[in-house]
Structure 1
């Protein structure tokens, strides 16, 4: 007698599941296509007729305006890439080094160390003391380190990684490594980290997004154009355009001097989004690879 697999899915259920995922994929892809289409549209057509998936009139005005200062764009791109790469690697390393000891029940004063990291999730010293510490004490004004250090260690990521270490790393493996003569550092590097690639990839992905999308730190700590990030550069450009287009007095004065060009607004916002998402789109497949690899490391082979 042929037995039915309890995990088998009927054809009707499979069709429904496929349709749901197809609908979800379309819902994710269409906004991206819309952003690209608007960025290549004419500003007047967008204002008159709204957003459309196919540009009514093709125009590169938004990109021409955005790339007028190409040297500054390239320099800010480099700053953002350096900050993101260095910050992400350092953040994941520090998070793992703090979270792994917290997952060990034999750590002396384990409760105190857990309290210290949890306390910062509930309370902080305030904006002014935070600023004074970085500027007056650490002297990081206009320094690239000012874009890295504030986001270096997240209490939430520490707790997430600690939970993974405590629940997903078998104690028997650690004891076997200790019996074989491996020290704590060797056990951590050779056994714990390879088994923890899923959580490390997750933390790295969120850290990458935090660093790449950050513009606030540049606004607070950076006044030198040579050190501002790409996101803050685009944010500042957008504010300048909005100020000129909404302030009638300034616009009339500039127009009277014959120096007021047709400034894009809606299309420029979309062009900035296109320019800003480039490296992040490339980062997702990289992290996805390590998600899969991490899930298969240590699997029981038959």
Structure 2
């Protein structure tokens, strides 16, 4: 009997020791992976504040011999356009994300209810739209000729107003989170579908809403293709598209520096590499600062909503 008990204790100690070693090993792996994600962005920030001459001589270094904010000074010269584009991007991101999340959540709630007669049709409709699209030309004709929304802010919002992938994620999340008995109890008490959705459903699915909000906000913030297709006015250019145009102008000056003294003077006065990295920082830092506010919801929402029944 004593030998049996001592053997069980030895086994428990061995399992506990192995568990600690396994936890340490996986923590190291995760830490290395996190470091590999953070280091590139840190490297970009360092290059953006490195002197252009030292970049040419020494190359890219984690700690340069000479610092300079010439890249940011170059962009500050375009501050009026940058602030205008930043305002457009923030407006499109906030309004587009709000509308997208609202329509996505209502759509997902409808097809998650068993008493909705057409739930199979609308579920299949959403899934098919993930696989097939009309293409650029029909979309452009509809947006500009049929709807007449060319060169308007709505042209930056409407094409991304609904996300089939997010609909499927929210549908599964709602079905996993909200029990049918809760809905039935509310109906028995006389609650309408709108009251059930806003007062019962929404508070329970906040992790899922935070998850799709982050996905949608990233999509709106980084979008430049819709501006390329539909926007002609300089006052409606979003930040990402403006930075692309600045980058294209820098490359044009670099390639044509030998065509004349004017091109050569402009090319030599522009901190090309540091300006490029400064543009990356400006485009990435604001949306990166938002992520910590969604983090506590993000893992739970993605894990639960990503499981298909």
More helix by proportion, 1 or 2? 2
Which residue does 2:281 correspond to in 1?
274
* 1:165, distance to aligned residue in structure 2 (A): 1.6
CA RMSD of aligned residues (A): 2.4
Q: 1:55 to 1:141 in 2, by over 3 A?
A: same
Identify which of 156, 165, 183 aligns with 1:147.
Answer: 156
CA contact (8 A) 2:72 2:278 kept: yes
Matched, 1:81 2:81: no
Q: Structure 2 matches for 1:155-174, cutoff 5 A? A: 155-174=164-183
In structure 2, C-alpha distance between the alignment counterparts of 1:200 and 1:259, rounded to whole Å: 48
Which residue does 1:244 correspond to in 2?
253
Which residue does 1:36 correspond to in 2?
45
What's the secondary structure of 2:234's corresponding residue?
Answer: coil
Which residue does 1:194 correspond to in 2?
203
User: Structure 2: 5+ residue runs without aligned partners?
Assistant: 303-309
What's the secondary structure of 1:142's corresponding residue?
Answer: coil
CA contact (8 A) 1:76 1:228 kept: yes
Q: 1:24 to 1:59 in 2, by over 3 A?
A: same
User: Structure 1: 5+ residue runs without aligned partners?
Assistant: 296-302
Identify which of 87, 90, 108 aligns with 2:99.
Answer: 90
Which residue does 1:298 correspond to in 2?
none
In structure 2, C-alpha distance between the alignment counterparts of 1:292 and 1:22, rounded to whole Å: 17
Q: Structure 2 matches for 1:97-246, cutoff 5 A? A: 97-246=106-255
Which residue does 1:262 correspond to in 2?
269
Which residue does 2:29 correspond to in 1?
20
In structure 2, C-alpha distance between the alignment counterparts of 1:292 and 1:189, rounded to whole Å: 23
Q: 1:167 to 1:11 in 2, by over 3 A?
A: closer
In structure 1, C-alpha distance between the alignment counterparts of 2:298 and 2:57, rounded to whole Å: 45
What TM-score, normalized by structure 1, do the two folds share?
0.88
Tell me whether 46-55 or 222-231 shows the greater mean CA deviation: 46-55
- Provide Cα deviations, 1:225-269, integer angstroms capped at 9, x if missing partner: 11100111001000111111123554x35247x555432322222
Paired residues in the alignment total 292
* 1:198, distance to aligned residue in structure 2 (A): 1.4
In structure 2, C-alpha distance between the alignment counterparts of 1:253 and 1:139, rounded to whole Å: 45
In structure 2, C-alpha distance between the alignment counterparts of 1:74 and 1:272, rounded to whole Å: 13
What's the secondary structure of 1:148's corresponding residue?
Answer: helix
In structure 2, C-alpha distance between the alignment counterparts of 1:127 and 1:55, rounded to whole Å: 45
In structure 2, C-alpha distance between the alignment counterparts of 1:65 and 1:244, rounded to whole Å: 15
In structure 1, C-alpha distance between the alignment counterparts of 2:249 and 2:97, rounded to whole Å: 31
CA contact (8 A) 1:234 1:272 kept: yes
CA contact (8 A) 1:194 1:294 kept: no
Q: 1:112 to 1:292 in 2, by over 3 A?
A: closer
Q: 1:11 to 1:289 in 2, by over 3 A?
A: closer
CA contact (8 A) 2:208 2:297 kept: no
CA contact (8 A) 1:195 1:294 kept: no
What's the secondary structure of 2:43's corresponding residue?
Answer: helix
CA contact (8 A) 1:143 1:222 kept: yes
Which residue does 2:306 correspond to in 1?
none
